[in-house]
């Protein structure tokens, strides 16, 4: 394995006689949202681009970003809003692809007391935990939709029990991801829930993003460009062949949910990734980043705001 070193930065991109290697770390455990990466790996997509991709489960966005900063991984897949906050605090990384400009976060409620529009939240209780997207920006959501947040009972609890408390009827509302949690909960409950789509009502929080070290954007541009072109092909293949994407993920996740649930997660993920005419998948719009930074500034103390160009680049998405 060839290791490239520049000063104190060690870049883990390696090269064999046949392919270069890209090491990518997820921020969390396996889920259908990651299936297109495995489809690219299991099919010939990455291989045809001359790339071997090592994909690894994660244990949180912070540890995934740290692995990139420390040179143990080339790329990390993390929530975009988390990456923006980390960069604002000085972490030397950039978002190099943003597949979900608006994270597919929804509020679930039981059909007996449905919450399907913002005003329905008044008088209801909602599960909340530190760093949880659906409630971290609840005040902003209320303001944008002209509802009284003081009439919503936000109940703080450990993130591990939010959903169980909702399922037991101890809170009225809980925030989940449409792409991963919702299919599982529908199967578990054996029925549908009432759903309020947060992006539909003005809360667009950047979701699935890929992050690289700042210095790697230039030093490793050639292989990373090929990686993102191949990943775009994998996403398109997952759109048209969800069963193939499901099968690819299940080869490394045999103990995961049923094929039907994973397929539903795959399809929901495909719908959450917009295609912009004339732009490659993952293209980052300056307005999306600027809006997200303003959102962060409304709930956190931000010293000396950085310009949007500090946070992202589209350099690796262009040939």
**Which residue spans within the chain are E strands per DSSP?**
4-6, 9-11, 14-15, 20-26, 51-56, 75-79, 93-98, 105-109, 125-128, 153-156, 173-177, 194-197, 208-213
**Residue 318 pLDDT > 90, yes or no?**
no
Domains delineated in the chain: 4-102+206-317 (3.40.190.10), 105-201 (3.40.190.10)
Across 205-211, average pLDDT: 97
- Return the DSSP state at 145: T
Please report the pLDDT score of residue 18 as a whole number. 53
Alpha carbon distances (Å) from 292 to 26, 155, 171, 319: 22, 25, 29, 27
**Residue 39 pLDDT > 60, yes or no?**
yes
Rounded to an integer, what distance in angstroms lies between the CA atom of residue 104 and that of residue 46?
Answer: 27
Q: What is the pLDDT of residues 98-131, one digit of tens each?
A: 999 999 999 999 999 999 999 999 999 999 988 7
For residue 211, count CB atoms less than 10 angstroms from its CB and return exposed for 0-12, middle for 13-18, buried for 19 or more.
buried
Q: What is the pLDDT of residues 263-307, one digit of tens each?
A: 999 999 999 999 989 999 999 999 999 999 999 998 887 777 788
Q: Coil, strand or helix: which one is 107?
A: strand
Q: What is the pLDDT of residues 41-68, one digit of tens each?
A: 999 999 999 999 999 998 889 999 999 9
**Residue 223 pLDDT > 70, yes or no?**
yes
Alpha carbon distances (Å) from 190 to 77, 176, 186: 32, 17, 6
Label residue 4 by pLDDT band (50, 70, 90). Answer: very low
């Amino acid at each position: 394995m060839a290791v490239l070193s520049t000063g104190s930065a060690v870049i883990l991109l390696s090269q064999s006689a046949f392919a270069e290697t890209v090491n990518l770390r997820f921020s969390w455990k396996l889920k259908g949202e990651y299936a297109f990466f495995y489809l690219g790996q299991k099919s010939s997509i990455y291989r045809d681009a001359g790339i071997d991709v090592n994909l690894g489960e994660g244990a949180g966005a912070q540890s995934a970003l740290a692995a990139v900063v420390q040179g143990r991984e080339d790329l990390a897949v993390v929530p975009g809003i988390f990456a923006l906050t980390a960069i604002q605090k000085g972490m030397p990384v950039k978002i190099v692809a943003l597949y979900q400009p608006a994270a597919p976060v929804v509020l679930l409620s039981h059909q007996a007391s449905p919450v399907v529009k913002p005003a329905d939240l008044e008088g209801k209780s909602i599960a909340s935990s530190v760093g949880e997207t659906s409630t971290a920006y609840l005040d902003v959501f209320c303001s944008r939709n002209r509802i009284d947040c003081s009439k919503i009972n936000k109940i703080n609890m450990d993130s591990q029990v939010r959903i169980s408390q909702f399922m037991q009827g101890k809170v009225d509302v809980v925030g989940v991801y449409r792409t991963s949690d919702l299919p599982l909960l529908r199967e578990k409950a054996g029925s549908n829930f009432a759903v309020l789509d947060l992006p539909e009502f003005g809360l667009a929080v950047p979701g699935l993003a890929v992050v690289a070290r700042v210095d790697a954007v230039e030093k490793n541009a050639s292989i990373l460009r090929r990686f993102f072109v191949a990943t775009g092909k994998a996403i398109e293949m997952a759109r048209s062949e969800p069963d193939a994407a499901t099968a690819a993920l299940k080869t490394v996740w045999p103990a995961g949910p049923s094929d039907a649930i994973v397929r539903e997660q795959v399809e929901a993920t495909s719908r959450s990734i917009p295609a912009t005419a004339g732009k490659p998948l993952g293209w980052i719009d300056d307005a999306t980043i600027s809006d997200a930074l303003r959102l962060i500034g409304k709930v956190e103390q931000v010293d000396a705001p950085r310009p949007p160009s500090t946070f992202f680049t589209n350099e690796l998405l262009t040939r």
